[in-house]
Structure 1
Amino acid sequence: MAPKTKKKDRVGPPLDWQAPHGPVTGALSATTGALALATTGAATGMPPSWALAAGAAGALGHGLAAVKRRLPGRTIATRASTWLVAGGWTTWAVATGPLSWTALGSLATLGVGIGAATASAHLHEEARDLEAAASAEREMARQLGAERASIAAEWTDRVQRVCNVAITVVGVEQWASGAGYSIDAQLPPGGTTWDAIARCSPALSGDARLPHGCTATATPGIDQGRVIIDVTTRNVLADETAYPADYSPLSLLTGIPWGYRSNAEEILVHLREQCALIVGPTGSGKTNMVHAVLAGFARCTDGLTWVIDLNAGSAGLPWVRPALGVDGVTPGVDWLAADPGEAMAMLEAAIRLAKARKVEYQQLMADANTDLLPISSQIPQVMLVIDEGAEILASPDREMRKLGEKILEVIRIARAMGVRTVLTALGSTGTVLGNLMIRREAKTRVALTGGETEGMDLSKMFPGSRGLRVDQAPYKGSGFISTPTKPAGLFKTWRITPHQIADIVRATSDRHPTLDAPSAKAAGRVYAERWNADRIAWIGTSTPTPPAPPALPAPGPAGGLNLSAHRNQQPSAGPGTADEDALAKLFREQIDAEFATAPEPRPGPKAEPRAASGLNLSAHRDQQPPADTDAGAKDAALVLIERAGKAGTGASALARQLHPDYGTARSTVHEWLQEWVQSGDVIKVGSGTKTRYVHRSQHTPD
């Protein structure tokens, strides 16, 4: 038995027996069918009337089908006539003979006529359909035109009344999301600019009676004489939207999604050359935003993510733990530092990496005719995410200052070589934004407000932007974002959960590139051994057990620091008091044994001072300040600042007020003031000798 012919082995055009007939194929089908039936009927002696009955039945059936499909009358008439004419010719041919020249010539003539009639019917039917579609479009355009004309007239009048600017609306575009529309308007001659309308954004929103959370925002138009007014009519920021389930590959060159704007448009952030700054107070959704950023980086095929989080590595742990002990799964971040030592090693490795690339890839950049290293999956970019990195830069601590210097060096030297940073901070204050390098390089800026007003100076975060108010974004995860190509505007990031983070880690595990050989060599062993068991042992313990207190050595001979002034105090009764007293006694004896200090003088009315052999604290022995003196002074200082009102007070004046009751030094007061400025409890006004500190409840923003 011969094998069956497979479809892919067949030659010739495929035949579709269900395809509709055109004018030519329809005419051929009708004439050949009639000739075949007439020849067969004449040869077999078939009654001629049968052919006429068949033609009449075909005409009736096709006519009813065409009526049911609501075809034009011309098409119905053409199909019915074709069946009747074919049936009539067949009846005549059966009776007289189908193979005569007369019969064949008349059949050919009928075929030409059927083809012409069918073509005419098809053209008429196509014209009818086109006219119906055009009529529907005209009706829709009429309706949209009326709506747009109404919107144009309404906003022309509103801008004239509120802003005193006579605009001419050029176009109105409805957003695909249905959340609002954009108005393209021509500015009047005479030097009026778009920001004349942007300054009136709150007034325009109120005049239009927009829902809470909806705004009317003005941005530059196609040229300096045009303005775009984006009007939000439905607050999409109020809804919590999950991070998209699409984990498809991304590239740093084409943009990373960070959230969506008030018109539901997705925001793509380009960080090949730019750094980013994300600020947000506690409870604003900043940690969730960091995870959304890390999710985008994890999906990249040309980037590696290094994370520094000195708060126990909490920002990077969810991206590492799903890969621990799982074969074939790599962490979602390439390196995680949770303490200053590991962070310093990471930053130094990044600096060595950037310098090595400057030398190694000179020929590659020359071949590409660019001064920017062409990043790819073979030469990935390193994205350095530093949680609360802006606070590290502003910290007075010596160790933190060294880390801050390394961060600034990375920002300064590594742009062209593909190392960029994403810093976060708790607030957009002058302390955070005081560094020129951060302001200059962090062109992508995010301010998550969550309704928090303290420490959120949007004018410092987005200089030049007008009409931005914290109360416009009261929802967790919402705020304002600006990029080099887009001015500051409302946005919201997606909600991402730990389970989804684990899914992303698994879905993108085989996508992460490896560091190129010259960069890996420059990074050194500290990079190669970053996932060694001893380096990540702290990650595997879910609930660390506090270490047992070290065994105290046996008490040594007396002669050191003597705390006998506290030994005659009666311990308070209560559970565990005896054990606590014993431990305290051992602690005092250890101090006496370790530190050489002045011996304790014997009590007496006129005890003569003896030569001290060490630290002498006898000047303070008669002073017994309460344990909470320092805390009381700190509370009193905050009250004094609040009482100073809007004028505020200085550090020296505050120290003079506190010293009689608490003995507080000016240096201590200065430390408190810096702490309060960072937390937002106190606002620093002025500089140098004119520096004043105003309580947040008394401060009125300029």
Structure 2
Amino acid sequence: MTATEATMNKQTNSTNGTSKPKKAQASQGGPVWDWAAGHGPVTGALSATTGMFAVATTGTATGMPPGWALAVGAAGALGHAAAGIRLRNAGRTIAARAASWLVGAGWTTWAMTHGPLTWQALGSLAVIGVGMGTATRSTNLYEEAREEEAIAAEQQAVAAELSAERRATAEEWVARIERICGIRLRVLAVEKWAAGTGFTIDAELPGGATFDLISKRSAALSADAQLPHGCTVAAGPGIHQGRALIDVATVNVLMDERTYPADYTPLSVHTGIPWGYRSNAAEILAYLREQCALVVGPTGSGKTNMVHIILAGFARATDVLPWVIDLNAGSAGLPWVLPALTHQSAPGERPMRPGVDWLASTYEEALLMLDAALAVARHRKTAYQDLMHRNNTDLLPISPAIPQIELLIDEGAEILVSNDRRMRKLADKILEVIRIARSMGIRTVLTALGATGSVLGNLMIRREAKVRVALTGGETEGMDLSKMFPGSRGLRVEQAPYKGAGFMGTPESPAALFKTWRILPHQIREIVAATSERHPVLDAVSAVAAGDAYARRWDAGRIAWMGHPLITTIAPGTGTGTGTGSDNGRQGLNLSALHDGSSDASVVGPGSEVDRLADAFRREIDERFATAPEPEHPRGERPGLNLSALRDDDEQAPAPEDVPSAGPDWLPDAIAALADAGPTGMKPSAVADHVRRSRQAVRDALKAAAERGELVYRDNGPHSVYVHPDHA
């Protein structure tokens, strides 16, 4: 009976269709038999019939009672029927398996009674085997079809549920837009954002309508939908002009503060540099190969943090060299330089390189940097003509071998509109860099304190700075978003009241809400250390053009201000106030010009302790960075401070052109408006309406400006106008 059970089990495996895949053939020696594998319809039927024949012949030879085989077959049929019901098999599958057991047991009992070695027994056994194989194949196909139908039905149910939700959303917004904007949309798709913070509606516009009709009513749509504060409805162009994409944010992701991602993987100016994330939690990239950038933000809006985010992206890039100009003590670039200057290299370790390639904190150093940038741009135009010809392009192929120079100028927009004579000189050079250096891979990132007419009045800034950021921080004064993002509708400062939040627009992405990450000094130090080996080196052609000013940018004398300020205090009893020589508590520079040689105040001179420390610091910098050797010719007298203590009483006062011009605070905005007006100029009344001041006050201020040469007055009776000197 054990043989009979084994035969029936083999048959069951074949009918269950749970056969295991055969092992792969050996690479040598032919097929490998897998004795643990199950059977298919053919091998299962063959195994069952041979087992039945073996049991019948063995039982006949040993005198086995024929009823035993029938009892075992009935038990197998009942067991597999119960198992099929538990597995929720189809009725035909359960019947086929039970019939296989009963037919096999019946043939075995008949063969043991009449003899298994007759032609009748053998023929009937062959017929039974073919029937088993056919039934097994049929039931397996049927079960597979039932399983596929069940999966498809489940998927259809899920899709129907999602489709019902999307249809409800589409109907809701179609009705809302029709009620508020007066246009009837046809929604083609509703896509939920992966972050779960909102959805996008792909809609077809009615004839003659544009997406601007929806953008203008963004605030009303947001209020009607009762969206949380900070969530907006933004409409943009679709796949063609007859379609629109409507982004609806339902979760305010701008409220929470997120730190800069700890993934410091390499970046490239060609693939974009992340500056923040949108309201759908997707990163927004700045593509700066050909574009300049403008970042505005009032005090407390997170502008300094944004500058560090920009520098972090430049530090991670393998084809960017950042140069920084910050006339406010270099505070924007110091956190990216000091980790390298204070790093103590272990034996055999390469020195850490600063996160910025050049830092200027003074007018003189900024002038050197801008002159070097202009020289590099002009020299690249001639030296790389063959390279551009081989690459069949009119843009210099930027790569780690020929890196792009990114000039980040903190509050650079204020420099461009300054009336100070020295600042005007810097402004002219900045504008020249913007104008001539695009194709040669030198671009600028300017920051400003506000989006006002005076900042955006320069045509060069408006034309070249296509990547624009307005950090609002909830500040409404000086944040004219219509000037910052002309053509964009529905942008309101109240939508981004959080520090580090605002609006960002690029040629690839329309102006919309965004927020930048938070970056702290410890993370800046981590980035400097992680990217030290990644920074490119200025190509030899450009280094030659940049000259000695670039090669010696890390000389001890030029970077001593970063960590070794040579400032001492006035000794007690040597105050400069009136009265006796008692200490008046005041402190300041200990100037040798103000005391005689008998004074005991400390004097910084040759051979002093400070001088020895400076020499040691200079030697350390020379060993760590590849600075140029000191000139061998003797150094002449240094130009010192123009101290009143050293001047005669009859010495002349500063020239009038050195003193910034006077005028009301609204005058720069009026001058910018006159520059935009072109040769036609503007009447005083029109200027008064523009700056919202009285006509008499405007006439007086414009007359004074014309006398100073800042404007030109064209006297034409009642049609007299003021014209900007550029258009006179």
Considering the TM-score relative to the shorter chain, is it more than 0.5?
yes
Match of 1:301 in 2: 318
Q: Residue type of the partner of 2:199?
A: Y
Match of 1:576 in 2: 583
Instruction: Note the residue ranges of structure 2 that are not aligned, 5 or more in a row.
Output: 1-23, 598-642, 654-663, 666-690, 709-719
Question: Residues 140, 653 of structure 1: CA spacing in aligned structure 2 closer, same or farther, 3 A cutoff?
Answer: same
Match of 2:607 in 1: none
Whole-Å Cα distance in 2 between the matches of residues 19 and 257 of structure 1? 56
Whole-Å Cα distance in 2 between the matches of residues 106 and 515 of structure 1? 91
Deviation at 1:458, TM superposition (A): 0.7
Match of 2:418 in 1: 395
Matched, 1:469 2:484: no
Matched, 1:460 2:483: yes
Whole-Å Cα distance in 2 between the matches of residues 221 and 310 of structure 1? 44
Question: Residues 546, 594 of structure 1: CA spacing in aligned structure 2 closer, same or farther, 3 A cutoff?
Answer: closer
Give deviations 1:606-651, integer Å, cap 9, x for gaps: xxxxxxxx4799xxxxxxxxxxxxxxxx99xxxxxxxxx9645877
Match of 1:208 in 2: 225
Q: Residue type of the partner of 1:451?
A: G
Question: Residues 89, 547 of structure 1: CA spacing in aligned structure 2 closer, same or farther, 3 A cutoff?
Answer: farther
Match of 2:213 in 1: 196
Whole-Å Cα distance in 1 between the matches of residues 78 and 368 of structure 2? 90
Matched, 1:219 2:242: no
Whole-Å Cα distance in 1 between the matches of residues 209 and 128 of structure 2? 75
More deviation, 87-96/266-275:
87-96
Whole-Å Cα distance in 2 between the matches of residues 25 and 231 of structure 1? 55
Give deviations 1:405-437, integer Å, cap 9, x for gaps: 222222111111222221111111122112111
Contact 1:279 1:448 in 2 (8 A): yes
Match of 1:136 in 2: 154
Whole-Å Cα distance in 2 between the matches of residues 592 and 443 of structure 1? 47
Question: Residues 615, 409 of structure 1: CA spacing in aligned structure 2 closer, same or farther, 3 A cutoff?
Answer: closer
Match of 1:419 in 2: 442
Question: Residues 166, 588 of structure 1: CA spacing in aligned structure 2 closer, same or farther, 3 A cutoff?
Answer: same
Whole-Å Cα distance in 2 between the matches of residues 586 and 49 of structure 1? 130
Contact 2:56 2:116 in 1 (8 A): no
Give deviations 1:14-71, integer Å, cap 9, x for gaps: 97969985xx745425634774796699689886989888877877776666655555
Match of 2:178 in 1: 160
Deviation at 1:224, TM superposition (A): 2.6
Match of 1:244 in 2: 261
Contact 2:49 2:129 in 1 (8 A): no
Whole-Å Cα distance in 1 between the matches of residues 132 and 43 of structure 2? 9
Q: Which of 28, 52, 58 is equivalent to 2:43?
A: 28
Q: Residue type of the partner of 1:577?
A: N
Match of 2:604 in 1: none
Whole-Å Cα distance in 2 between the matches of residues 436 and 13 of structure 1? 80
Q: Residue type of the partner of 1:546?
A: I
Matched, 1:187 2:205: yes
Whole-Å Cα distance in 1 between the matches of residues 232 and 269 of structure 2? 31
| Matches for 1:603-622 after TM superposition, within 5 Å | 614=650
Structural RMSD (CA): 4.6
Tell me the SS of whatever aligns to 1:432.
Answer: helix
Q: Which of 254, 273, 290 is equivalent to 2:271?
A: 254
Contact 1:184 1:228 in 2 (8 A): yes
Contact 2:274 2:313 in 1 (8 A): yes
Match of 2:716 in 1: none
Tell me the SS of whatever aligns to 2:567.
Answer: coil
Tell me the SS of whatever aligns to 2:499.
Answer: coil
Whole-Å Cα distance in 1 between the matches of residues 651 and 549 of structure 2? 44
Contact 1:31 1:108 in 2 (8 A): no
Tell me the SS of whatever aligns to 1:428.
Answer: coil
Q: How many residues matched?
A: 596
Match of 1:700 in 2: none
Match of 1:384 in 2: 407
Deviation at 1:489, TM superposition (A): 0.8
Question: Residues 351, 89 of structure 1: CA spacing in aligned structure 2 closer, same or farther, 3 A cutoff?
Answer: farther
Tell me the SS of whatever aligns to 1:244.
Answer: coil
Deviation at 1:531, TM superposition (A): 3.8
Give deviations 1:366-417, integer Å, cap 9, x for gaps: 2222111222222222222222221222223333222222222221111112
Contact 1:38 1:91 in 2 (8 A): no
Whole-Å Cα distance in 2 between the matches of residues 51 and 525 of structure 1? 105
| Matches for 1:291-690 after TM superposition, within 5 Å | 291-324=308-341, 325=343, 326=345, 327-328=349-350, 329-540=352-563, 546-548=567-569, 576-577=583-584, 587=594, 594-597=646-649, 614=650, 647-648=693-694
Question: Residues 595, 253 of structure 1: CA spacing in aligned structure 2 closer, same or farther, 3 A cutoff?
Answer: closer
Match of 2:306 in 1: 289
Give deviations 1:232-263, integer Å, cap 9, x for gaps: 22211112122223222222212222111112
Question: Residues 335, 14 of structure 1: CA spacing in aligned structure 2 closer, same or farther, 3 A cutoff?
Answer: farther
Whole-Å Cα distance in 1 between the matches of residues 167 and 440 of structure 2? 53
Match of 1:178 in 2: 196
More deviation, 157-166/460-469:
157-166
Whole-Å Cα distance in 2 between the matches of residues 104 and 321 of structure 1? 96
Question: Residues 594, 199 of structure 1: CA spacing in aligned structure 2 closer, same or farther, 3 A cutoff?
Answer: closer
Whole-Å Cα distance in 1 between the matches of residues 486 and 35 of structure 2? 68
Whole-Å Cα distance in 2 between the matches of residues 355 and 520 of structure 1? 12
Q: Residue type of the partner of 1:465?
A: S
Match of 1:270 in 2: 287
More deviation, 440-449/145-154:
145-154
Give deviations 1:129-188, integer Å, cap 9, x for gaps: 332233233333333333333333333332233223333333333322222222333333
Question: Residues 460, 10 of structure 1: CA spacing in aligned structure 2 closer, same or farther, 3 A cutoff?
Answer: same
Contact 1:58 1:83 in 2 (8 A): yes
Whole-Å Cα distance in 2 between the matches of residues 242 and 134 of structure 1? 44
Q: Residue type of the partner of 2:152?
A: A
Q: Residue type of the partner of 1:462?
A: F
Tell me the SS of whatever aligns to 2:463.
Answer: helix
Q: Residue type of the partner of 1:347?
A: L
Tell me the SS of whatever aligns to 2:468.
Answer: strand
Whole-Å Cα distance in 2 between the matches of residues 68 and 18 of structure 1? 28
Whole-Å Cα distance in 1 between the matches of residues 114 and 296 of structure 2? 98
Deviation at 1:548, TM superposition (A): 4.3
Give deviations 1:274-304, integer Å, cap 9, x for gaps: 1111111111111222222222222223322
More deviation, 40-49/244-253:
40-49
Tell me the SS of whatever aligns to 2:317.
Answer: coil
Whole-Å Cα distance in 1 between the matches of residues 240 and 213 of structure 2? 15
Whole-Å Cα distance in 1 between the matches of residues 253 and 438 of structure 2? 36
Whole-Å Cα distance in 1 between the matches of residues 446 and 114 of structure 2? 98
Q: Residue type of the partner of 2:467?
A: T
Tell me the SS of whatever aligns to 1:271.
Answer: coil
Contact 2:302 2:473 in 1 (8 A): yes
Whole-Å Cα distance in 1 between the matches of residues 534 and 591 of structure 2? 57
Deviation at 1:546, TM superposition (A): 3.1
Tell me the SS of whatever aligns to 2:267.
Answer: coil
More deviation, 56-65/246-255:
56-65
Question: Residues 198, 37 of structure 1: CA spacing in aligned structure 2 closer, same or farther, 3 A cutoff?
Answer: same
Whole-Å Cα distance in 1 between the matches of residues 88 and 542 of structure 2? 72
Matched, 1:234 2:258: no
Question: Residues 188, 322 of structure 1: CA spacing in aligned structure 2 closer, same or farther, 3 A cutoff?
Answer: same
Quote the sequence identity (%).
58
| Matches for 1:4-15 after TM superposition, within 5 Å | 11=28
Whole-Å Cα distance in 1 between the matches of residues 335 and 30 of structure 2? 58
Question: Residues 241, 616 of structure 1: CA spacing in aligned structure 2 closer, same or farther, 3 A cutoff?
Answer: closer
Matched, 1:117 2:135: yes
